[in-house]
Structure 1
Amino acid sequence: MCSEGIFERYINFYTDFAFKKLFGTEINKDLLISFLNALLHGKEEIKEITYLNAERLGTQEYDRRAVFDVYCKNEKGEHFIVEMQKGEQQFFKDRSIYYSTFAIREQAPRGVWNYGLKGIYTIGILNFTIYPDNTDFYHEVKLTDLATKEVFYDKLTFIYLEMPKFTKKENELETLFDKWLYVIHNLATLMERPQALQERVFTHLFEVAEIAKFNRKERYEYEESLKNYRDWFSVMETAENKGIAKGIAKGMAQGVEIGEKRKAVEMAKQMRTDGMPVESIARYTGLSIEEIEEL
C-alpha cells in the first residue's frame, strides 16, 4: 500500500482515478450526462451516451496516438472529449485542436460520403488559468469569421473551464452548472453533502465518491493516483516558488545597481561643480566620460 495516507471523506476530483471513476465508467454515466447537460446550458439535452475507446491511433500504425481522459458520443452521434488538466502546458491549445481531429477523422465512413459531420465538443476542466486577465471562468470557442463576428462552423466547439476562478460559496449556487463546478472544485474538502446539493444525481455522486466504501483494489488505485497528484502539485509549487525567489533576487540586485548609479551621478555632479577634471571624475565614480559630460 502507499504511505501517503488519506484523511478526506471523499475523493479528490482532480486525480486521474476520481475523474475516470465518476465520469468515465458505464455504471456512473448518469453523472457525466448530468454534467454535460448543465455545461451546455440547455442548448440541447443529452439522454444517452456511449463510451468510446479512449485510446485513438492515427491512420497508420506509426502515427502518434491520443489517449483521452473520457471519450464518448450521445444518441445523436455527437462526440464529446472531456479532459481534466491539472497544470498548464506550453502547447495546451494545440493539444486540444489535435485531439479534436481524431473525432473528425473517424466519422468518415468507407465508400461514398458527402462529408457531413456530427458535432464535436472538446471540454477542458482546467486546474489553472489560460486567460489571467479575464475574470470569466467559462470560455466557449468556435471557428468565427473575424470580419462579421459570426460563427463560421457551429459543429466544432471547445469549452474551457478555469476552475481556480470559480469562487462561489454554497449559498451562492444558483444553477445545476454552479453546483457541478462547486462539487468538482471542493469535493475533497467536504465532510458531508452540502444542503444545496439535493438533486438525485448528487446523491449518486456522494455515494460513489466516499472513500470508505472502496474495496481494497479501489483504495490502492486511488492512493496511487492521489500520491501522483500531490507529487505533481509539490513539483509545480516548488518550481513556482523558485521562480518567485529568483525574481525577487533579480529585482533586489537591480535596485542596488540603480541606487549605486544614482549615488555615482550625484557625486559626479558635485565633483564637476568643484572643478575636477572629467577623467578624474570617471576614475572615482565608474561613470563614462560621455555620461559625465551630459550631466
Structure 2
Amino acid sequence: MDLLPSELPPDHYDGKEVRLDLRAKTSEGMVLNIEVQAQSQKCLDRRIMYYWAKLYSNQIQRGEDYYRLRPAYVIEVMDFNFIPDSSHYISDAQPIVSATGKPFTEDMRLFFIELPKWNALKRKASNSLERWIAFFANKNSAEVEEYAMLDPNIHAALEAEKRFIANPDQMRDYWQREKAIMERVSELAAAETTGEAKGIAKVARTMLSDNVPIQQIPKYTGLSVSEIEALQK
C-alpha cells in the first residue's frame, strides 16, 4: 500500500478544497480515504459523498479513458453514533439497484466505524481489525498496551502518539486547535438556531484568529479556501 498526498486539488468550478486525513492506494490500485471524525457536523453525509466523488474523479485527467478508474473506498472512524437504528459498530453503504437489491457498482463503498457502539460491547478485541478500533477508542490504556504487544503496527502508532504527547509545543498547538473547533461548533449551532447567515463567517474569522490552519477551516464551516481568504482581507 502506498500513501498519497492528503490534499486533493481544488475543483476548477467551485473552488472547494478537499483535505483528507489519510489517502492511500493498494497494490491492486484501489484508492482509500481514511478520516477520523471527533464530532458530528452539519451535512456530514453530503460532505462524505463529496469527498468520495473527488477521490474517484481525481484518478484520471481530462481526455483519459474511464477504464483507468479504480474502486474508491471511504473509511470514516467516528467518535459518535452516526448510523441510526443500528447497534453494529461497523456499517457500509453502496449504491443498490432497487429492483434487484444488488449493487449498482463495486467502485463505491463507504465504511463507518462508530467507536461508541464498539465501547458499548465492553469486550476485548479478538482480531487485528478490532484491535485497531480499540486503539482509536482508547478507553483502556492497559488494553491498548496489550494490543501493541500483539501488533507491531499498533505498537509503532502508540509510540508515535507518545512522542507527540511528550512534545509541549505540539500539544499546545493541538489544544489551541481543539479549543477553536469546539468554540466554532457552539457558535455555528447558535447561528443555525437564530438563522444568522453571518454566523458562519464569524466562526471562520474566530478560527483564523486562533491560528487554525486555513486548509482545515472548510471542513468545519463549509466555506471554500478562497472564501476564507477573502475574510482575511
Same fold (TM over 0.5): yes
- Find out whether 1:69 has 2:27 as its counterpart: no
Distance 1:123 1:213, change over 3 A: closer
1:32 paired residue number: none
Q: 8 Å contact 2:31–2:72 — kept in the other structure?
A: yes
1:221 paired residue number: 170
Q: Which amino acid aligns with 1:54?
A: E
* Cα distance in 1, alignment partners of residues 40 and 165 from structure 2: 33
2:78 paired residue number: 126
- Find out whether 1:135 has 2:87 as its counterpart: yes
Residue 142 of structure 1, CA deviation: 0.8
1:260 paired residue number: none
Distance 1:66 1:224, change over 3 A: same
2:227 paired residue number: none
Q: 8 Å contact 1:108–1:115 — kept in the other structure?
A: no
Q: Deviations over 1:127-184 (max 9, x none)?
A: 1112242111111111111221111101111111111111244x63211111111110
Q: 8 Å contact 2:138–2:144 — kept in the other structure?
A: no
Distance 1:55 1:147, change over 3 A: same
Q: Which amino acid aligns with 1:163?
A: L
Unmatched runs of 5 consecutive residues or more in structure 1: 1-47, 241-295
Q: Which amino acid aligns with 2:23?
A: Y
Q: Secondary structure at the match of 2:49?
A: helix
Q: Which amino acid aligns with 1:65?
A: E
1:207 paired residue number: 159
* Cα distance in 2, alignment partners of residues 211 and 107 from structure 1: 35
Matched residues, percent identical? 16
2:53 paired residue number: 101
Specify which structure has the bigger relative contact order, considering alpha-carbon pairs within 8 angstroms and separated by 6 or more residues: 1
Distance 1:59 1:212, change over 3 A: closer
* Cα distance in 2, alignment partners of residues 212 and 95 from structure 1: 29
Distance 1:109 1:219, change over 3 A: same
**Cα-Cα RMSD:** 3.0
- Find out whether 1:54 has 2:22 as its counterpart: no
Residue 76 of structure 1, CA deviation: 2.5
1:195 paired residue number: 146
Q: Which amino acid aligns with 1:158?
A: L
1:180 paired residue number: 132
Q: Which amino acid aligns with 2:156?
A: H
* Cα distance in 2, alignment partners of residues 56 and 110 from structure 1: 14
Q: Deviations over 1:6-35 (max 9, x none)?
A: xxxxxxxxxxxxxxxxxxxxxxxxxxxxxx
Distance 1:219 1:75, change over 3 A: farther
Unmatched runs of 5 consecutive residues or more in structure 2: 190-233
- After superposing on structure 2, the runs of 4+ consecutive aligned residues of structure 1 that deviate more than 3 Å are 109-112, 191-194, 211-214, 230-240
Q: 8 Å contact 2:89–2:117 — kept in the other structure?
A: yes
Q: 8 Å contact 1:54–1:70 — kept in the other structure?
A: no
Q: 8 Å contact 1:57–1:66 — kept in the other structure?
A: yes
* Cα distance in 2, alignment partners of residues 202 and 77 from structure 1: 25
Q: 1:162 aligns with which of 103, 114, 122?
A: 114
1:151 paired residue number: 103
Distance 1:196 1:113, change over 3 A: closer
* Cα distance in 2, alignment partners of residues 163 and 224 from structure 1: 25
Q: Deviations over 1:249-290 (max 9, x none)?
A: xxxxxxxxxxxxxxxxxxxxxxxxxxxxxxxxxxxxxxxxxx
**Matched residue pairs, number?**
187
